[in-house]
Amino acid sequence: VVRVGRALSTGSLPLAELRASFGREPLVPGVPRGMVGQLLRFALVGVISTLAYALLYLALHSIMGAQWANAVALLVTAVFNTAANRAFTFGIRGSEGSARHQMQGLLVFGFGLLLTSGSLFVLDVMAPDASKHVELAVLVIANLVATVSRFIALRWVFRTAQSVGANR
């Protein structure tokens, strides 16, 4: 700490080089700068969202059944997921464009809802006596498939705001 403080005070710490390299991956042909960091932040938000989704689903399952529990849990976590990804993953701050981003995020949510509801339907046809824990496992797998599409869609949703934020 003392050495870092001294280097900062004397100007011998190469801040520009550190800032350029810290948290940035090496350029990979075909991979835009910053995407690896976005993927890591997106994954962290996704893990937290998945845990929240699982807890909500299990809590609501006995009250409203599998399909409704899935829809409500997915909707609630999608709103928070979009807000978290907007700020944390894509670095967009402030309220400008947030309503539009949430609406676009809800379109992405619709795709996830179709995928998870369809998965529940297929499970019900193939294994009508499956436990809610088996249902949850199927839903988590379906959500993982939807997550790839979600990342691509959210990169598109936040594309303009990112370039504006980068120019500031």
81 close to 143: Cβ distance less than 8 angstroms: no
What mean pLDDT comes out for the span 1-28?
65
- pLDDT band of residue 150 (cuts 50, 70, 90) is confident
CA 30 vs CA 13, 26, 35, 92, 93: distances in Å? 32, 12, 11, 24, 28
d(CA 55, CA 13): 46
Q: What percent of the chain has pLDDT over 70?
A: 80
| Across 21-25, 28-32, 139-143, least confident range | 21-25
The reported pTM is 0.71
**More confidently predicted of 97 and 122:** 122
Show me where the domains of the chain are located: 31-167
Q: How far is CA 81 from CA 22, 30, 74, 128, 140, in A?
A: 26, 27, 10, 31, 15
Most confident option among 29-33, 127-131, 150-154? 127-131
